[in-house]
Structure 1
Amino acid sequence: MCRAVELRQAVLARNDETAHTLRVRLAGRGTTVVNLLSSPGSGKTALLEHELALARERSLPVAALTADLATENDAVRLARSGAPVKQILTDGLCHLEAGMLARHLEGWLPEPTRLLFVENVGNLVCPASYDLGETLRVVLASVTEGEDKPLKYPTAFGLAHLVVVTKTDLARAAGFDEAAFRAHVDQVNPGVEVLLTSVRSGTGLGALLERAEAAAGGGPVHRPVMAPPPPHTHGHPREDPREHEHPGPAVRLTSAQR
Structure 2
Amino acid sequence: MCVTCGCGEGEVRIDGAAVQHDHVHEHVHADGTRHAHEHPHDHEHTHDAAPAHSHAPGVTPTRRVQIEQDILAKNKAYAQANRRLLSERGIFALNLVSSPGSGKTTLLCKTIELLKQQTVAVIEGDQQTSQDADRIRATGAQAIQINTGKGCHLDAHMVGHALAQLKLAEESLLMIENVGNLVCPAAFDLGEAHKVVILSVTEGEDKPIKYPDMFRAASLMLLNKTDLLPYLNYDVKAAIGYARRVNPEIKVIQVSATSGAGMDEWLDFLRAGVAQARAVRRH
Question: Which bracket does the TM-score occupy, shorter chain normalised?
Answer: 0.7 to 0.9
Q: Aligned to 1:102, which of 160, 164, 167?
A: 160
Q: Distance in 2 between matches of 1:72 and 1:209?
A: 26
Give the conservation status (yes or no) of the 8 Å contact 2:208–2:242: yes
One-letter amino acid of the structure 1 residue matched with residue 96 of structure 2: L
1:204-244: CA deviation from partner (whole Å, max 9, x where unpaired): 1243332122123338xxxxxxxxxxxxxxxxxxxxxxxxx
Hey, what does 1:25 align to over in structure 2? 85
For structure 1, the 5+ residue unaligned runs are 220-258
**Which residue identity lines up with residue 90 of structure 2 in the other structure?**
G
Per-residue CA deviations over 1:143-174 (Å, capped at 9, x if unaligned) read: 01021110111011111110001111111322
Distance apart, 1:9 and its partner CA: 0.9
| Greater relative contact order, per chain length (Cα 8 Å cut-off, separation 6+) | 1
Deviation of 1:72 after TM superposition, in Å, equals 1.3
Question: Runs of 4+ in structure 1 displaced over 3 angstroms?
Answer: none
Alpha-carbon distance in structure 2 between the residues aligned to 1:203 and 1:81: 20
- Provide Cα deviations, 1:189-216, integer angstroms capped at 9, x if missing partner: 0021111011111111243332122123
2:270 is matched with 212
Q: In 2, are the aligned partners of 1:37 and 1:140 still within 8 Å (CA)?
A: yes
Give 5+ residue unaligned stretches, structure 2.
Answer: 1-60, 278-283
- Tell me the TM-score normalized by structure 2: 0.74
CA RMSD between the two structures:
1.4
**In structure 2, how many angstroms separate the alpha carbons of the residues matched to 1:18 and 1:85?**
21
Q: Does 1:52 align with 2:52?
A: no
Give the fraction of aligned pairs with identical amino acids, expressed as a percent.
Answer: 42
The number of equivalent residue pairs is 217
Q: What is the DSSP-based 3-state SS (H/G/I as helix, E as strand, rest coil) of the residue aligned with 1:140? A: strand
Pick the aligned partner of 1:62 from 114, 117, 120. 120
Asked whether the equivalents of residues 119 and 169 of structure 2 are also in contact (C-alpha less than 8 Å), the reply is no
Cα distance in 2 for partners of 1:202, 1:8 equals: 41
- SS of 1:111's partner is coil
Distance across 1 between alignment mates of 2:240 and 2:166? 39
What is residue 39 of structure 2 aligned with on the other side? none
Deviations along 1:88-109, one digit per CA (max 9) or x if unpaired, are 1111211000011001210323
Contact 2:98 2:197 in 1 (8 A): yes
Matches within 5 A, 1:215-254: 215-218=273-276
3-state DSSP class of the match of 1:106? Answer: helix
TM-score by length of 1: 0.80
Alignment of 1:114-153 (within 5 A): 114-153=172-211
* SS at 2:122 equivalent: strand
Structure 2 distance, partners of 1:171, 1:22, is: 39
Distance 2:80 2:183 in 1: 22
